[in-house]
Chain A
Amino acid sequence: MIPELGQFALTLALITAVVQGVLPIWGASLNNALWMRSATSTASLQFVLIAIAFGALMRSFVVSDFTVLNVVENSNSLKPMLFKVAGTWGSHEGSLLLWTLILALFGAAVAVLGRNIPTGLKARTLSVQAWISIGFLSFMLFTSNPFDRVFPAPLDGNDLNPLLQDVGLAMHPPLLYIGYVGFSIVFSFAVAALIEGRVDPAWARWVRPWTLAAWVALTGGIALGSWWAYYELGWGGWWFWDPVENVSFMPWLLGTALLHSAIVTEKRGAFKSWTILLAILTFSLSLLGTFIVRSGLLTSVHAFAVDPERGIYILGLLTVSIGGSLTLYAARVHKMEPGGLFAPISREGGLLLNNLLLTLATATVLFGTLYPLFLEGLTGDKISVGPPFFNTSFIPIMLPLVLIMGIGPFLSWKRADLAGIISRLKWVILIAGISALVVWYIQTKGPALAVIAMAIAVWLLLATLREWSSRIRLGQVELTESLDRLRRVPRAAHGMTMAHAGLAVCMFGFVGSSAWKSEEVLFVQPGKLVQIAGFDVTFEGVEQVQGPNYTASVGKLSVMRNGRPVTILRPERRSYPVAQSQTTEAAIRSTPAGDLYASITEPVNQEIEGQWTLRILYEPLVGFVWFGSLMLVFGGLLSLSDRRLRVGAPKRKARSASLPIAAE
């Protein structure tokens, strides 16, 4: 009964979406206020209906209703409750339902919170959003219904892939999807602006909080996924340039560009058509990511042909939305008035360079991700594009970007004095140079690029802090006055400082853990001593432990340093009888200086019975990757909290008038 209710709610949501897709936009062209305002109620109703459907599916998972096919395939009565809940979005159908739920959530949020958005723009935006909804709701109802029943119902389910039974990964899809789908509302705003043929600074101001919210969630989602890969896959890596990772990274790169170009549109009225184009492209990449992951295209071009129904549907959706919006863009872009003039050395110039480099970086990732698919489709040759490709093409584009990031916040609008800025940063340049020498002295073995990258990270961190301290005039005026300034500086400015510094911190982790990693892999018997990065690790043996839906072999490693005990590591090997698969639970000892990481695998055949494969890694500074990511997320949130005050979307605190305008 409940699953049918869910399905019924989904059907009603589709009908509501059709109404929302037609009535408001029609009303906007006829200037019919009532029709335009109907978007508020239909958007909210659509969200409620999809939430009911989502709740129905979640309930089926929670009570282990094995008459529902989706539950049978992805759950098991022995599974811990958290993963039963997370199982709701663990499957193809469930994750689509979550996608659509978030899509409707953003629509409803704009409908309810965006009170000061002009009625026409709001009506058109929500109509465009509804069309995206229609695409996905019909896709779900026609090809991937999450509420399909099974008869006769089996006694128990197949279980969720054990690799996915993890807290980090349970939270990863919702965050990632909020990011992906959050860009949909920016896309809708852009298309609505194209239909109206008008973009002004106010438009950029309405769009920016949504971009920022999506960006924050996407950053968190990517970081969480990378953290999960780090501790769950047992290889000790946090980024593999895997196509699945790339498709989430591309919207992030372009979304970051969009975030910065929207500032120029908002503050100077320039980059209008470019901002619109970025908004369209960012969401297009989100859609492309969904298509690539969901169509089976990644395993092979041929897999796509095996089950074409879903793939072709999303491909159609992709063609209509991307093709349609770009055609509209081409037809309307000349109507945008050009913005104010600026000198090459200016904040506009800096942000232009930022956008250029980020777009190029996205293009290289896109090329590396799609090229194998094209080649296989055209010639049948199977190739893989590995990390060497991305390291060679992506890093040389990103390093200059980080270099100019240090200067960017010092640049003034229209015309800036580069020589003056450099002279203010001479100490920073000196310290960054010295730090390069120090790093080179400590780590003579690593690649030269690592030393340069480390110095650039130090440069970014110090330049960012220097800009922040000059903003509050730290050291130039009395401390109390500086503290007073600290309070009065808009939160968006603090957010920028936090995010830029966060990237510098991330870079320490990126460089340290990839350039100076030590790794030992060997077969061990109890009593075996392994030396790595100054640690003496002794393998003590393995014991069997029973878990709720798995059995585990837990290894015991005692770690000593200079004759003194440091810690005991217990890497696990879990075996899931129902899903018939195994997972690795790495044991990690984290310190700011680096992680000692251990994982074990059972013997592969009889010949080496009793010998376990032990993998020990020492990854310097890897913790900075997660800490820096947190800073990025927190910086985004800080900036977002400022925006809310200024946009006055929900006017909870009316303090905005007294705040100076953010000049990030």
Chain B
Amino acid sequence: MSLKKKRRVQIILVAVVALALATGLIGYAMQDGINFFRSPTQVTETPPAAQETFRIGGLVEEGSLKVVGDAAVTFLVTDGNASVPVTYKGALPDLFKEGEGMIGSGNLIGGTFQATEILAKHDEEYMPVEVIDALKAQGVYQEGRKTPSEPLETVTNGAGNDS
């Protein structure tokens, strides 16, 4: 085997070893780095184990938002069929309101979802797609909940697509 060929084989070997290591790392990282999304109904039907971090999403039930202690809040997240109590200590995001969509990530401990992070929808128009799907699954979601306020919207839709 010529030196050139030998060198090439060495490089390929190193690359293969590195690739195997990276695959192993990815596999290992996937154990706790990947969070499933579940709707309140799914959580109620098959409650995940306490050590599993997952995301839950739905609407914040009207009248359920309460303050406990120094900075923690509790509220119910619902998809119209089932509700799950959520506790969260931290600043609530912009546009977090009763009756609006939210997504939280955390763990289900003793039937209560202890959120470590809460996301609300980004702006007035946008609701997280996961939440929309969860609501649709329960038949509670109404298309176009936000009514177009101005005739502008109709023009927008007309001109935006065909030109």
Contacts and interface: CB of A to CB of B under 8 A. Distances in A.
- Do A and B interact? yes
Interface of A: 69, 72-73, 145, 148-151, 154, 158, 161, 234, 299-300, 302-303, 309, 338, 341-342, 344, 352-353, 356-357, 360, 363-364, 367-368, 371, 381-393, 396-397, 521-523, 579-584, 599, 601, 604-605, 607-608, 611, 613, 615
Contacts of B4: 338, 341
Nearest to B55: A384
Given A145-B163, A150-B152, A341-B7, A382 B22 contact: no
Nearest to A93: B160
B29 interface: yes
Contacts of A608: 67
B124 to A, nearest CB: 5
A608 B72 CA distance: 12
A580 B124 contact: yes
A397 B18 CA distance: 10
B37 A599 contact: no
B47 interface: no
A356 B14 contact: yes
Given A352-B11, A382-B36, A521 B29 contact: no
B116 to A, nearest CB: 10
Given A393-B33, A604-B97, 16 more contacts: A150-B155, A299-B128, A356-B18, A360-B21, A360-B22, A368-B29, A381-B37, A388-B29, A389-B33, A393-B26, A397-B22, A581-B123, A605-B65, A605-B98, A607-B66, A607-B67
B159 A363 contact: no
Given A384-B35, A521-B90, A389 B29 contact: yes
B49 interface: no
A527 B30 CA distance: 46
B1 interface: no
Contacts, number: 147
Contacts of A302: 129, 133
15 contacts: A69-B160, A161-B123, A303-B129, A309-B161, A367-B26, A383-B35, A385-B35, A387-B33, A392-B25, A393-B22, A393-B29, A582-B94, A601-B92, A607-B67, A613-B92
Interface string B53-93: 00100000000011100110100000000000000011110
Contact of A581 (B94, B155, B156, B163): B94
Q: Tell me what chain A mostly uses at the interface: helix, strand, loop, or mixed.
A: mixed
Contacts of B140: none
B37 A383 contact: yes
Contact of B71 (A344, A521, A584): A521
Contacts of B71: 521-523, 613
B30 A581 contact: no
Contact of B33 (A344, A386, A522): A386
Given A363-B22, A580-B124, A69 B28 contact: no
Contacts of B130: 300, 382
A300 B129 CA distance: 7
A651 B11 CA distance: 40
Contacts of A151: 155
Contacts of B97: 604
A234 B95 CA distance: 14
Given A72-B152, A360-B18, A523-B67, A581 B124 contact: yes
Return the 8 tightest CB-CB contacts between A and B, nearest first: A389-B33, A392-B29, A382-B37, A522-B71, A300-B129, A393-B29, A388-B33, A360-B22
A521 B89 contact: yes
A582 B129 contact: no
B33 A385 contact: yes
Contact of B94 (A299, A583, A607): A583
A341 B3 contact: yes
Nearest to B30: A389
B120 to A, nearest CB: 11
A522 B7 contact: no
Nearest to B103: A384
B22 A149 contact: no
Contact of A69 (B29, B91, B159): B159
Contacts of A391: 29, 33
Contacts of B21: 360
Nearest to A306: B129
Contacts of A607: 65-67
A72 B160 CA distance: 12
B45 interface: no
A397 to B, nearest CB: 7
Given A392-B25, A580-B124, A73 B36 contact: no
A388 B159 contact: no
B150 to A, nearest CB: 7
Given A356-B18, A601-B91, A613-B91, A392 B33 contact: yes
A580 B150 CA distance: 14
Contacts of B152: 72, 150, 154, 158
B9 interface: no
Interface in B5-59: 7, 10-11, 14-15, 18-19, 21-22, 25-26, 28-30, 32-37, 55
A357 B89 contact: no
A47 B7 CA distance: 46
B123 A604 contact: no
B129 to A, nearest CB: 4
Contacts of B34: 371, 383-386, 389
A364 B30 contact: no
B107 interface: no
B91 to A, nearest CB: 5
Instruction: Give the interface centre of A151, A386, A608 by most chain B CB atoms within 10 Å.
Output: A386
A393 B34 CA distance: 12
B95 A581 contact: yes
Nearest to B11: A352
Contact of A521 (B37, B65, B91, B163): B91
Contacts of A154: 150, 152
Contacts of B3: 341
Contacts of B18: 356-357, 360
A148 B163 contact: yes
Contacts of B156: 69, 72-73, 150
Contacts of A158: 152
Contacts of B92: 601, 604, 613
Contacts of B70: 522-523
B96 interface: yes
Contacts of B114: none
Contacts of B55: 384
Contacts of A344: 10
Given A382-B36, A389-B30, A604-B97, A360 B163 contact: no
Contact of A149 (B29, B33, B159): B159
